[in-house]
Chain A
């Protein structure tokens, strides 16, 4: 992937995250920078869970395959 493409994708993701966090802090009672950042962190956490989960499953499958290959 070229650098421009990485930049485009990151802009999309950053904008999306910003929109989500803005939506979360739109209602009164949740204003201010700390609220924004804590919400951002939590949104990132929920975004990271599927990625992490997929990675872990991939690793497990890979290690199983390797072990099988060694046995055979």
Chain B
């Protein structure tokens, strides 16, 4: 029986596919991308014989006499090529429709290895390398890479989702994984009152095929751009938070097919929204399974015989998929429900500063929370018109507000105030609006014709347009319907 070197040296063959998943949710972009690739890894170790065969190759007496030890043609000696037989199975079985089945098989392209054939892996050593391997007692890994393309989104083994919840009832249900309509737990709700939860879901998609291995989440690491004292994490068990580096880590866990690993960062909404950036990195593995359906069918030596004919113990063979998910989130982009955007513009005969102050009062009166404010600046002198100042660009006044409408939702609005004013009118105006009484304000309005001109631009965002217009009309009515 042929004694190839690979019989002795190869200990393990691993088929490894990698899925890198990128999810970016910021105000500018919602991007979900993935890339895939694979490789065959052959673990092999040198032994004494390997070194001996390199340092003292067998020589023919005539060859020695004529001055060379390497005189013989040794194409397959000492037998360093391993043929890795790879086969492909369709990763998804759709037994209803043959055409669909074809489609699925063709959808994923594997480039670099055959669909049904062998990959020849050269496992030759040089003597020095072999000595090193033996001295370190480490296996050398030979790698054959291949590309996987066209893996459809709906065949990814995981789905990554990020959501922001604000309602205590919802938060409790989401964290407890309860269905809607279950008995309300008032006491449980208490702890989430006034809180928001940023939830990261890693769902292990159920396959239609039979043997779905569990997903092993090795860990999740989340870095926050800022922290705050009230921050909490769920699940608390298995998490560790370092406020210094603003990093929270969750340990390993197993997710059965169809189940979801859920992680949450909890805190007051205003604090959570202040976090500009959250970077999450998840690492997980799927044992015994590849994305492309490529499997190692059998191993062969250079004589063409399979490991089953080898006298030495056969190498172990395994298949594995590793998943890395990188999620970048700007939590404010998840306020989200803000899919509907409505705008309104109000122009008044007043100064920008006066309008700003008035607006602050309107908000206070109507239960609108101001999350961020910056009053209009002094403006820049307008050329050719003495004493007139233009307030725009950097000088524009800004208000970010939030108005909650109970169970109906939340409206987020950004308001910008621009305009012009004369130096004289400014002083008068400030005192006018300092009066808290509505009556006074309305009365003085008429007399401000030459004081200036201010424009208020409002962008309201919420889950539905009706809520937006309700919000906008609140503001508009407060200014007497003047537009």
Is B one of A's binding partners?
no
Q: Which residues of A contact B (CB under 8 A)?
A: none
- Chain B residues in contact with chain A, CB under 8 A? none
